[in-house]
Amino acid sequence: MRARIRRWNRRHLLWLLLILVTAVSLRLYHIREAPPGLTHDEADHGITAWGILQGEGGIYFPVGYGREPLYDYATAAVMAVMGPTYLAGRLTAVFFSLLTIVGLYAWTCRAFDRTTALLAAVGLAVSFWGVMAARQSLRSITLPALFVLALWLWWRESGEWQVARGKRQGRKTSFIIHNSLFIIHYFLSGIFLGLTFYTYIPARIMWLLFPAILVYLAIVDRDHFKLVWKGTAVTLLIASLIALPLILFLLNNPELEVRIAELSGPLTAVSHGDFSLLWQNAKSSLRLFTVAGDTTWRYNIPGKPFLPLVQGTLFYVGLLLAGWWVIRPLRKNSTPQQKQRGAAAFAALAWLLLGIAPVLVTGPELSMTQAMGMQPVMYVFPALVLGQLKTKNGKQKTKNKKRTAAYDIPLTVYWLLITIFFTGIAYNTARDYFGTWVNAPEVRVQYESTMVAAMDYVNTHDVKDVAISTITPGEFHTPALAQMMLTNTPVLSAAEVAVLPRWYDGRTSLLLPQAEESVVIVPGFTPMHPALGRYVNTRATGTTLPLRDTDLDRPLNIYEWRQDETLAEWQTIFTMEDIPVNFGDKLQ
């Protein structure tokens, strides 16, 4: 018996190691090139992180319509080693993604069983959503990682009680050690829960899971409730103290939360008695799981749901199974094991509901980020069903005392089918992400791949002065991307910059460089206006950079501006008769 347990433990660890290796591979493969550039949100995160290292920290950043700081501080720690590179943000996201997988495994193993934990972990590891979120330099990835760790630490202390006997499961410990662990686990849980407030907006409702579990226990399991409510109060108290500085700051500076004001439209309508917008958003959002997903190219293949067909079907069956486990302890003859499983199922369902709640309000657009709070637990429900298939098979075989061969063969078949199933999902994820999504022209526009090509040109040529035309010349848009991409001038002050790009929109304006030699870069989205073209010595055009035939922002023209030649050409274009020049009676 002990040999069989040791053999299963070795197999279990090997499976877990294989899952993590697969997760790392999918998240680090071509991490420099995919995504094919940076969104302005990602670039802003990088600039903020580097600013933190320069002493420009804060408890909340107004950049990007208001932003919690934890991800930026984590990225700053990576930049302290790697320097101001955009890769620091991506590697930070990969780290938190892997931490989420490990945390999900740890909690599911405690709450349910090891098989379900493995199946949930692999589901998240190979999912399209999991890979997509892990490769983006966005703060939302930090929320599920810290939240699942908080729940796991709470469950280590609260979920091990044998209610029928009022004793703890596991090894016996001394009174001092037991009480020390009691305090440490609840205390650490509170720390992680409090830190979630510094990650992403949905954390402001996610904490409600802990009191919700207490309410459930008070109804179905009074003995268990009496044993854990004090520890839960400690967790919530510590979390409140940690979150308090941010809460007070935002209460005193409500104008900084521009994003909250933008997203609260449906709730504002409800306060005026109009439920139509909220109802429409909720109906559309419930289709996200298996019918119609996020419609934006920025974070998804438009319309791709969270779960594929088979896994989605298992998800719905898992919801029904968890629902049954939740209500079963309401019966008088329920066992302690049924009550424990009911509490775990309730926690999973409540977690899912709290995680999807923001999207039910705002609608399916950009749900790939706004629903991040529920990402880990969503993969628990298909795992519950698959785990039950193994459990039922094992129970049937163990009734036969001569079960050595009869038990191992079905288990081998079971794990073989599981391997094939998730290998297929991993293949589809790699195909959809690295084949379809990364190469989509719309994605290349969203991630400004043309500007990345322009920055590569500046990096590889002896450019002393450059002006770049773009449709988004504002400080926190294309200029932010340039600061993260220009290897010889990364995120430095104006006094330190060797090459400081000047930004303008070529459709309506033209910059006239003062340097002896300059470069003007003009992409296809902002072609030089014909009325302004005659001011540029087009005969000095350097080259048109090669782009993909499918790129929408073509061509990418490079103009080499020589001041002496330009001034000489102007002498032949303009005469004294052209003076004075009147600009709409506003300037002469």
Q: What are phi and psi of 323, to 5 degrees?
A: -60, -40
Residue 588 resides in a domain: no
**64-120 per-position pLDDT tens digit:** 788 999 999 999 999 999 988 999 999 999 999 999 999 999 999 999 999 999 999
Q: What are phi and psi of 31, to 5 degrees?
A: -65, -25
Terminal CA-CA length for the chain: 96
**Domain that includes residue 359, residue range:** 2-441
Residue 498 has pLDDT above 80, yes or no: no
For 60-67, what is the mean pLDDT?
Answer: 87
Residue 545 has pLDDT above 90, yes or no: no
β-strands 161-162, 466-469 pairing = unpaired
For 206-233, what is the mean pLDDT?
Answer: 93
**Same domain, residue pair 515 and 419:** no
Q: How confident is the model at residue 392 (pLDDT cuts 50, 70, 90)?
A: low
Residue 348 has pLDDT above 70, yes or no: yes
Residue 585 resides in a domain: no
Residue 271 has pLDDT above 90, yes or no: no
For 148-161, what is the mean pLDDT?
Answer: 83
**Same domain, residue pair 435 and 522:** no
**Same domain, residue pair 423 and 504:** no
Is residue 526 within 8 Å of residue 470, measured between CB atoms? yes
Owner of token pair 């990650």: 199
**Same domain, residue pair 431 and 501:** no
Higher pLDDT, 176 or 264: 264
* Residue that terminates a domain, selected from 441, 471, 493: 441
How many domains in the chain? 2
Looking at the DSSP bridge assignments, the partners of residue 467 are 502, 520
Write down the pLDDT at residue 4. 52
CB atoms within 10 A of CB 26: 23
The span from the CA of 42 to the CA of 85, in Å, is 12
Q: How far is CA 573 from CA 190, 236, 566, 576, 577, in A?
A: 73, 75, 10, 10, 11
Q: What are phi and psi of 69, to 5 degrees?
A: -100, -10
**Same domain, residue pair 396 and 466:** no
- Find, among 452, 353, 419, 495, the residue nearest to 42 by Cα: 452
DSSP result, 166-222:
TEESSS---HHHHHHHHHHHHHHHHHHHHHGGGT-TTHHHHTTHHHHHHHHHHHH-H
**Same domain, residue pair 175 and 71:** yes
The span from the CA of 213 to the CA of 351, in Å, is 10
Highest mean pLDDT among 331-345, 362-376, 419-433: 419-433
**427-457 per-position pLDDT tens digit:** 999 999 999 999 999 999 999 999 988 888 8
CB atoms within 10 A of CB 490: 19
- Find, among 99, 90, 25, the residue nearest to 423 by Cα: 25
Higher pLDDT, 151 or 393: 151
**Same domain, residue pair 458 and 399:** no
Is residue 207 within 8 Å of residue 193, measured between CB atoms? yes
Q: How confident is the model at residue 175 (pLDDT cuts 50, 70, 90)?
A: very low
Q: How far is CA 259 from CA 63, 68, 265, 294, in A?
A: 11, 12, 11, 19
Residue 582 has pLDDT above 90, yes or no: no
The token duo for 420 is: 């094939």
* Residue that terminates a domain, selected from 441, 470, 489: 441
Cα 314 to chain centroid, rounded: 24
The span from the CA of 85 to the CA of 25, in Å, is 21
Write down the pLDDT at residue 427. 97
Write down the pLDDT at residue 265. 78
Highest mean pLDDT among 202-216, 461-475, 528-542: 202-216
Q: What percent of the chain has pLDDT over 90?
A: 52
- Find, among 168, 95, 171, 159, the residue nearest to 133 by Cα: 95
**Same domain, residue pair 457 and 425:** no
CB crowding 396-435: b at 16 or more within 10 Å, else e: ebeeeeeeeeebeebeeebeeebeebbeebbeebbebbbe
**Same domain, residue pair 314 and 400:** yes
* Residue that terminates a domain, selected from 441, 475, 505: 441
**Same domain, residue pair 434 and 339:** yes
The burial class, CB within 10 Å (0-12 / 13-18 / 19+), for 20 is middle
Residue 587 resides in a domain: no
- Find, among 490, 489, 478, the residue nearest to 454 by Cα: 478
Please, which residues have CB within 8 angstroms of residue 163's CB and are 6 or more apart in sequence?
221, 223, 224, 336, 339, 340
Write down the pLDDT at residue 80. 95
**231-246 per-position pLDDT tens digit:** 999 999 999 999 999 9
**Same domain, residue pair 383 and 365:** yes
Mean pLDDT over all residues of the chain? Answer: 85
**Same domain, residue pair 425 and 484:** no
- Find, among 242, 264, 228, the residue nearest to 195 by Cα: 242
β-strands 517-522, 466-469 pairing = parallel
Owner of token pair 């990682």: 145
Residue 105 resides in a domain: yes
Residue 584 resides in a domain: no
Is residue 476 within 8 Å of residue 44, measured between CB atoms? yes
The burial class, CB within 10 Å (0-12 / 13-18 / 19+), for 87 is middle
Write down the pLDDT at residue 531. 74
